[in-house]
Amino acid sequence: MFFISNAYAQSASGGGAESSLMGMLPLVLMFVVLYFVMIRPQMKRQKEHKTMIEALGKGDEVVTNGGMLGKVSKLTESIVTLEVANGVEIQVQRSSVVQVLPKGTVK
């Protein structure tokens, strides 16, 4: 009275390489879709942000990632000094600037 049946080896099928390629096709397609849906747009946004940061100039009105509005009064390689009110200046990293506003927005 054994409840375990005997296991027999199956004969090898002829299409082993072809079936493994077909098995990898969904994985490759998922990677291609992931690239075009997530990776490529993110790289594009990073490039646009970098060009915006490099184009900053004195007198530009900007928004930081913390929501502070200010006018650029001084620029260094990595630091931007913003005038947020008359006589009140703050220093932020250049990378924290998220948007350049049209002239006349900040009063």
Mean pLDDT, each 10-residue run in order, the chain (107 residues): 69 64 88 93 95 94 95 94 95 95 86
Hey, which residues does 64 pair with through a beta bridge?
A: 97
Give residue 14's pLDDT: 54
Q: Which of 40, 103, 26, 48 is nearest to 72 (CA)?
A: 103
CATH tag for 57-101 (out of 2.30.30, 2.60.120, 1.10.3470, 3.40.50): 2.30.30
**How would you class 80 by CB atoms within 10 Å of its CB: exposed for 0-12, middle for 13-18, buried for 19 or more?**
buried
Q: What φ, ψ does residue 98 adopt, rounded to 5°?
A: -110, -20
